[in-house]
Amino acid sequence: MGLTILVIGSGGREHVIAQKLIQSPKVRTVYCAKGNAGMKNDGITLVDIAENDHPALIKFAQENGVDWTFVGPEIPLLNGIIDDFTDAGLLAFGPVKAAAEIEGSKDFAKDIMNKYQVPTAEHQTFSDFAKAQAYVVKKGAPIVIKADGLAAGKGVVVAQTDEEAIKALKEMLEKNKFGASGAKVVVEEFLFGEEFSLLAFVRGQEVYPMVIAQDHKRVYENDLGPNTGGMGAYSPVPQISDEIVKEAIETIVKPTAKGMVEEGRAFTGVLYAGLIVTESGPKVIEFNARFGDPETQVVLQRLESDFAQIIDDLLKGKEPQIKWKQNGYSLGVVVAAEGYPNFYRRGCQLPDFSDLETGQIYYAGVKEENAQFVSNGGRIYLVESSGKTLKEAQKAVYDVLKAVDTKGTFYRKDIGFKGIK
């Protein structure tokens, strides 16, 4: 008899996670709470329970013979969903609340990095506007201002001038732009260099790195405009050498996992390191306690082993066997609502991809209305394709997008540009 799995979350990341799980011959049923209408195409069963309703999710898992639960987004992790499932005697994959703090508080993450000598941008934390302003003036722009807590990828301002930095400080510390998340801010040195995302399966001190990816955080081509949750990604990243990746695993991921164990906050789950390759090697700009979105949509394409088996082994104390495809590229482009990451409308009719010949669609902000998909969020869907070269993968994705009507939505036309010479 196959496994019954519950996935928590509703974005493109959860779509690919649920899809890879259901493709496993070891899996019989994948439920997703709440999921999104687009997932039904892949045979995923939607469950109408909110991701913060832990008692209802626990009850559902118990009553429906769920073998284990995979938690996608950070908010339930930081609400202690793993702790609650564990207390109820249920298996669930992800870090406990105390470990998820590595994403929940940038100040805490910086303390861990300082204590365990993990290379990161020089920084200081403030809750007082005048002191923060004085620090910005002393250090000078470019400089980076980050809300301490969660802000859906939007709480980071890379300021090119002192004025811009001070305006951001004022908005967060005095005007409460991000509420409690911005009551403390981290002011950080601007790092020059290529950025990449290194994700790893972590179980206490054990670290199983994934293949790397590069996201595109800015909303417009050539990395202009405000930060978003991510507008597209690709994997592998040819301009980042294997040596740099190895260095990042040894100097960043392993010491962080070990540090968390020593702190009594052992991390089990996916640890995501956002890194910049500086002249003195890779340095951390952020940690997340979960898979990245849209990185997961391209990284999991390159997994050769059975995803469900890996998670099952990690949950059951066994040694996972993890193999990655060594050849080929995967690239994904996010289609977002016009106006995102600021004000945008919902209800935009989406193209019909039912006879798509190449590539895959991962849905996020969608719902069904009169048997048609309409937009229901900022990031709506992602088109993914694989190819022998990065250019081939990129062309395949843009060919799909050019052939459909994308009115009311937009996408970056240059995803992958840094990897294509």
CA 13-381-72 angle, 5° bins: 15
Q: Which of 153, 225, 226, 328 binds ligand GLY (CB under 6 A)?
A: 153
Q: Which 267-286 residues touch ligand AMP, going by CB under 6 A?
A: 274, 276, 285-286
If one asks whether residue 292 binds ligand GLY (CB under 6 A), the answer comes out as yes
The least CB distance from residue 292 to ligand GLY, in Å, is 3
If one asks whether residue 238 binds ligand AMP (CB under 6 A), the answer comes out as no
Q: Which residue sits closest to ligand AMP, CB atoms considered?
A: 286
Q: Which of 215, 263, 312, 313 binds ligand GLY (CB under 6 A)?
A: 215
Nearer to ligand AMP, 80 or 153 (CB): 153
If one asks whether residue 191 binds ligand AMP (CB under 6 A), the answer comes out as yes
Nearer to ligand GLY, 149 or 408 (CB): 149
Q: Which two tokens stand for residue 115?
A: 């204590």
Nearer to ligand AMP, 123 or 203 (CB): 123
Q: Which of 5, 8, 61, 121 binds ligand AMP (CB under 6 A)?
A: 121
If one asks whether residue 328 binds ligand AMP (CB under 6 A), the answer comes out as no
- Axis crossing angle, helix 129-139 with helix 162-169, rounded to the nearest 10: 160
Q: Quote the radius of gyration of the chain (alpha carbons, Å).
A: 21
Other beta carbons within 10 angstroms of residue 229's beta carbon come to 22
> The sheet that has 281-288: what strands, in order across it?
206-209, 194-203, 268-278, 281-288
If one asks whether residue 42 binds ligand AMP (CB under 6 A), the answer comes out as no
Question: In Å, what is the CA distance from 355 to each residue of 17, 22, 46, 404?
Answer: 22, 21, 23, 12
Stretch of 203-211, 263-271, 291-299, 413-421 lying at the interface with ligand GLY (CB under 6 A)? 291-299
Asked whether the beta carbons of 267 and 206 are under 8 A apart, the reply is no
If one asks whether residue 337 binds ligand AMP (CB under 6 A), the answer comes out as no
Alpha carbon distance 172, 160 (integer Å) = 17
Q: Which of 158, 219, 253, 350 binds ligand AMP (CB under 6 A)?
A: 158
H or E element, residue 113: helix 106-115
Task: Write each residue from 298 to 317 as x if it is in contact with ligand AMP (CB under 6 A), else as -, in one continuous string.
Answer: --------------------
Alpha carbon distance 320, 155 (integer Å) = 36
Alpha helices per DSSP H over 263-346: 295-299, 307-315
Nearer to ligand AMP, 20 or 412 (CB): 412
Stretch of 26-34, 95-103, 186-194, 311-319 lying at the interface with ligand AMP (CB under 6 A)? 186-194
Asked whether the beta carbons of 203 and 144 are under 8 A apart, the reply is no
φ, ψ (nearest 5 deg) of residue 141: -80, 160
Burial bucket for residue 367 (CB in 10 Å: 0-12, 13-18, 19+) = middle
327, β-bridge pairs: none
Residues that bind ligand GLY (CB under 6 A): 153, 215, 230, 288, 292-293, 295
Residues that bind ligand AMP (CB under 6 A): 121, 144, 153, 156, 158, 188-191, 195, 217, 227, 274, 276, 285-286
